[in-house]
Amino acid sequence: MATTHAPTCAHAPCNCSVAAPGEFCGEYCRSVAESGVIESACACGHLACAQLRKVQRETAPKASGHKSRHH
Residue 43: exposure state from Cβ atoms within 10 A (0-12, 13-18, ≥19): middle
Q: Across residues 14-23, what is the average pLDDT?
A: 95
Domain layout of the chain by residue ranges: 1-59
Q: Indicate if the pLDDT at residue 69 is higher than 80.
A: no
DSSP 8-35: B-SSTT---B-SSTT--SSHHHHHHHHH
Q: Across residues 4-33, what is the average pLDDT?
A: 94
- The reply to whether the predicted model has a pTM over 0.75 is no
